[in-house]
Each structure stands twice: as structure tokens, then as C-alpha cells.
Amino acid sequence: PYHDGYAGPVNAAAGSVLGDWVLVDMFARVVTGEANAEDSIRQAVRGAQRYYK
């Protein structure tokens, strides 16, 4: 089954990343042409790292 923290545990950090739309925004930036895939991934990693310190 799918879990928000897959393949790790579902925890507060995973919930915060989802709540801040980090992954959704990553895809949206690429699909709308706002950013290329590499730049959007870098930005998403920075966004997720705020919660995974």
C-alpha cells in the first residue's frame, strides 16, 4: 500500500512536506514550464530539507 513516507516511516516531516505541497509544486513547475526538471527537483529538495534536519 501507498504511504506518505514511503519507503520510510510516516512522520511529522513527511506530513509537513505534503502539507506544503513540495512534491506537487515540483511537478507543477515543470509542467507549466516555470522551471526545467533539474531545477525543480533541486528546489523541492531544498524545501524538503527544511523538515528533514
**The three three-digit cell numbers of residue 44, written as one number:** 523541492
What does the alpha-carbon distance between residue 11 and residue 18 come to, in Å, rounded to a whole number?
11
Could you give the CA distance from residue 9 to residue 35 in angstroms, rounded to a whole number?
A: 30
Does residue 1 or residue 31 have the better pLDDT? 31
Please compute the mean of the pLDDT values over residues 41-52 and round it to a whole number. 96
Q: What are the C-alpha distances in Å from 3 to residues 14, 21, 31, 47? A: 10, 16, 24, 20
Q: Is the pTM of this model over 0.75?
A: yes
For residue 28, what pLDDT band results from cuts at 50, 70 and 90?
Answer: very high
Q: Is the pLDDT of residue 2 over 70?
A: no
User: Distance (Å, rounded) from C-alpha 41 to C-alpha 33?
Assistant: 14
